Structure 1
Amino acid sequence: MASLTPDAAWHRFVRLALGTAAGLALGYLGLAYAIDPYDSGRSTLFSVGGVRPQGPRTASASRGRDPAFTGAIIGNSHIQLVEPARLSALTGIAFVQLAVPATGPGEQFLILDWYLRHHPGPEAVVVAADEYWCTDDPALPNAKPFPFWLLSSDVPAYLRGLMRFSVAQEVVGRSGWLMRRRRPLSPADGWWDYEPDYLRLGDADDPRLAADRDRPAPDAPDPHRAGPFPAAARFAAALGRVPRATPVVLVFPPLYAAGLPRPGTGRARADAACREALAGALAAHPRAAVLDWRRDRPETRDAALFFDQTHYRHPLARQVADDIADALRRLRVDRD
C-alpha cells in the first residue's frame, strides 16, 4: 500500500479530528437535550417532578410550566417577598412566585410569555413594575446576565444555549441529582425569603445603612427615564395574550419615603408619567386593577419596614399581599 504524502496525511487527520469533534458535540447535545438540565419540559425522559436547588433565573423554566400553579407573580426583588402561599390562602388561587432579582421588563415579559405558553387560561396574573420599567430604551436592556435562550420559543436558540460550558456543568449536576435516592428540592412555589440575607449584611439601623436609606431622591429627572416609555407598549402587547376573563393586577412596589421624588419636581412629573403610561396599558383588559404603593403613605415613612429604599420587610410584604388579594377578590366578583 502506497504511503500517504504529508499533505494527504494532514488532511486525513484534520477530517478525522473534525468528524470526531462533530460527533462528540452531537452526542453531548443529544444527552443535554434528553437530560433537560433545567427541567424546561422540552424532554420528559428524566422529568421526575420537583425543582432542583438553583437560582430563580433558571428555576423559572420548571416553575413557570408547573400545572399546579394557576396564578403567577412576575417581577424582581421588589415583589419577591410577597409570599405566594399567603396569596393562595387568601384567594383560593394556587400562586407561584416567578420574581427574579435584578431583572427588568424585558426579562419579565419573557417569563410572563413562558408562563402563558404553559397556562393558556390562568386564574390570575400579578405583575410588579418598578423604576426599571421607566427606561426610554426600546431594547429594554438587562443589567445582569439572563438565560433568554432557556425560555425562548425558538428551538435553535435553545440548542445553542445547551452548548454553553456552564450548562454542561448543569447537565452533570442534574444527572447526579437524578441518581440520588433522596433529592434535595427548592420550594415548589418559588418563594425566596431575602430577609435572612439582608440581616446578615448588618442591622437595618446601622448608621451606614440608615444614611443610604435616608438619602433623598434628586429633583432632576433621570434623562433616560423621562419618557417615552416603551415598556408600556410591550406590556399592552403581552396582556393581549392573557384571557379577558383572567384578573390582572399591576403593582407599583413600595418605595421608602426618602426615595420618593419631591412633589412638583421634574423627577416627580417623570415618575407620574411613567406610572400613568403603564397603568394605561391595562385599559384594554376588562379585569384589571392597579395598586400604587409607590407614593407617600404612613407605611412608606416607617424606616423599620425597610432594609433600603426599595427592599421592604415582612410586615409590609404581608400588607402588599393582602392588597393584591383584595383586588383579585373584587375583580373575580365583578366577573361573576
Structure 2
Amino acid sequence: MDRGWRAFSGWFGGSAAAVFAGYLALAYLVDPYDSGRSPLVSGSGVRPQGPRMAAASRGRDPAFSGAVIGNSHIQLVSPERLSGRSGIPFVQLSIPATSPAEQFAILDWYLRHHPAPEAIVIAPDEYWCTDDPALPNPKSFPFWLFSDSTHVYLRGLMRFSVAEEVVERLGRLLHRDPPRARPDGWSDYKDQYLGLAARDPRRASEQAAQRQTPAPDTPDPGRAGPDFPAAVRLAERVGRLPARTALVLVFPPIAPAALPRPGTAREAAEVACKAAVATAARRHLRTAILDWRTRRPALDDPTLFFDQSHYRHPVATRLADAIADAIRNLGGASAPLGPAD
C-alpha cells in the first residue's frame, strides 16, 4: 500500500510539474501582453483593454518617440494633438489611479525600449507629495510585467487572470484581423463621467458640489514635507536622460475651489512639494515646467471640470497645446501648427 501510494504521489507530482512547466513555457512564448520577450511572437499589439496591462506593448512600440506618463489627471491630453503640433509621435502611457512608483516603472520601461526619446512628458500631482519613501498606493499594479528580471516576469505569469489572457492571446494569433487596442493609448473618460451622471442624478449633484468644495487649510497627512522621496527618484532618472530629449514637467490643473488658500499651511506644503519636484526635473538641461495647478483666469469656471481634479476637453486641448509649444521652445521637433481651439 505504501509503495503504491508513493508511486502515485510521484506520478502525480511529476505530472503536475510537467503541466506547470508546459503552461509557463506556453505563456512565455505566447507573450499575452505583447511585452516583446517571446522569441516567436512580437509586435502584434493587444486586445482592447485597460491601460494597466496594455502599457507594456505601447511602451515598447518604436513608432512613438515621445511619451506622456502620469495618471488620470493627464490622461485626457490627446497624443494625436501633441503629435500634430510638436512633430513628435506621442504615446499616452498614463494609467488611472497610479502614484509615482508605478509611473517610474512605466518610465523605466519606456526608456529601456527608447534609449534616446525625443520628448518625455511627466505629470506629477498631489500623490507625488508623500513623505513615505515606499511611495505607496493601495491600488494593485503589475510591476512584474515591466520588470527587467526574467524571474520576476515568470512569477507574474503564474496568475489565473494571466492564464485567461494566454487563451485569449492564442485566439488572437489564429485570427486573421483581430481587434486591437488603440496603439497610441488615448482613452477618453468623458462618456464615463457623463454616463454616470445621466444614470444617477445624485451623482451629478455630488460632482457639482465637489467642484465647489473648498480645500482644507492644512495639508493631507503625510504630505507636508520637508522630504519628498518622489523628487529624489525623479532626479535619479532625469539625470540619465540623453541631452537631446525634451522633458516637460506638467502640474495638472484642478478645480479652482480645490486650490489651497493663500497663506495657509496647505499652500506652503504644496509650494514646497512642487519646488522639490521641479528642481529635480531641472537636473536635465532641456526641461520646461508647466504649472497649471495654480490660479489661472482661464480655469476659473468650475464647469470646466468633472470633479475636483478631472478636467474636460477644452482644458485638455489647451494643455496639450501648451505642452507642444514648450517642446518647440526647447528645440524639439516641429510641425505646422494646427488650428488653435
- TM superposition score category, shorter chain reference: over 0.9
Instruction: Give the TM-score taking structure 1 as reference length.
Output: 0.95
Partner of 1:330: 329
Which residue among 209, 213, 225 is the counterpart of 1:211? 209
Q: Report the residue type matching 1:209 in the other structure.
A: Q
Which residue among 179, 190, 211 is the counterpart of 2:174? 179
Deviation at 1:333, TM superposition (A): 6.5
Asked if the contact 1:299–1:305 (Cα under 8 Å) also holds between the matched residues in 2, the reply is no
Query: Which secondary structure state, in structure 1, belongs to the residue aligned with residue 294 of structure 2?
Result: coil
| C-alpha distance in structure 2 between counterparts of 1:291 and 1:179, whole Å | 46
2:144 matches 1:168: no
Partner of 1:281: 280
Asked if the contact 2:254–2:309 (Cα under 8 Å) also holds between the matched residues in 1, the reply is yes
| C-alpha distance in structure 1 between counterparts of 2:95 and 2:293, whole Å | 20
Partner of 2:236: 237
Deviations 1:280-326 (A, max 9, x none): 10232110010000001123321221000100001000010011011
2:149 matches 1:151: no
| C-alpha distance in structure 2 between counterparts of 1:325 and 1:101, whole Å | 22
| C-alpha distance in structure 2 between counterparts of 1:76 and 1:237, whole Å | 21
Q: Report the residue type matching 1:298 in the other structure.
A: P
| C-alpha distance in structure 2 between counterparts of 1:65 and 1:46, whole Å | 14
| C-alpha distance in structure 2 between counterparts of 1:268 and 1:51, whole Å | 43
Distance 1:48 1:229, change over 3 A: closer
With 24-33 and 239-248 compared, the bigger mean Cα shift is at 239-248
Asked if the contact 1:253–1:292 (Cα under 8 Å) also holds between the matched residues in 2, the reply is yes
2:57 matches 1:59: no
Query: Which secondary structure state, in structure 1, belongs to the residue aligned with residue 298 of structure 2?
Result: helix
2:115 matches 1:116: no
Which residue among 18, 31, 34 is the counterpart of 1:36? 31
Asked if the contact 2:246–2:332 (Cα under 8 Å) also holds between the matched residues in 1, the reply is no
Partner of 2:338: none
Note the aligned Cα RMSD (angstroms). 1.5
Larger radius of gyration: 1
| C-alpha distance in structure 2 between counterparts of 1:11 and 1:333, whole Å | 69
Distance 1:170 1:333, change over 3 A: closer
Q: Report the residue type matching 1:117 in the other structure.
A: R
| C-alpha distance in structure 2 between counterparts of 1:272 and 1:108, whole Å | 22
Instruction: Give the TM-score taking structure 2 as reference length.
Output: 0.94
Deviation at 1:15, TM superposition (A): 1.1
The share of aligned pairs that are identical, in percent, is 61
Q: Report the residue type matching 1:24 in the other structure.
A: V
Partner of 2:262: 263
Partner of 1:3: none
| C-alpha distance in structure 1 between counterparts of 2:208 and 2:146, whole Å | 39
Partner of 2:253: 254
2:145 matches 1:126: no
Query: Which secondary structure state, in structure 2, belongs to the residue aligned with residue 101 of structure 1?
Result: coil
Asked if the contact 1:121–1:243 (Cα under 8 Å) also holds between the matched residues in 2, the reply is yes
Distance 1:246 1:82, change over 3 A: same
Partner of 1:191: 186
Q: Report the residue type matching 2:65 in the other structure.
A: T
Asked if the contact 1:78–1:310 (Cα under 8 Å) also holds between the matched residues in 2, the reply is yes
5+ residue gaps, structure 2, are: 334-341
| C-alpha distance in structure 2 between counterparts of 1:182 and 1:333, whole Å | 36
| C-alpha distance in structure 2 between counterparts of 1:200 and 1:236, whole Å | 40
| C-alpha distance in structure 1 between counterparts of 2:228 and 2:330, whole Å | 27
| C-alpha distance in structure 2 between counterparts of 1:184 and 1:240, whole Å | 39
| C-alpha distance in structure 2 between counterparts of 1:331 and 1:165, whole Å | 47
| C-alpha distance in structure 1 between counterparts of 2:39 and 2:187, whole Å | 27
Q: Report the residue type matching 1:86 in the other structure.
A: R
Deviation at 1:49, TM superposition (A): 2.3
With 204-213 and 218-227 compared, the bigger mean Cα shift is at 204-213
Which residue among 41, 47, 63 is the counterpart of 2:42? 47
Q: Report the residue type matching 2:269 in the other structure.
A: A
| C-alpha distance in structure 2 between counterparts of 1:69 and 1:132, whole Å | 27
Asked if the contact 1:245–1:286 (Cα under 8 Å) also holds between the matched residues in 2, the reply is no
5+ residue gaps, structure 1, are: 1-5
Partner of 1:91: 86
2:2 matches 1:7: yes
Query: Which secondary structure state, in structure 2, belongs to the residue aligned with residue 38 of structure 1?
Result: coil
Asked if the contact 1:116–1:241 (Cα under 8 Å) also holds between the matched residues in 2, the reply is no
Asked if the contact 1:102–1:143 (Cα under 8 Å) also holds between the matched residues in 2, the reply is no
| C-alpha distance in structure 1 between counterparts of 2:266 and 2:2, whole Å | 70
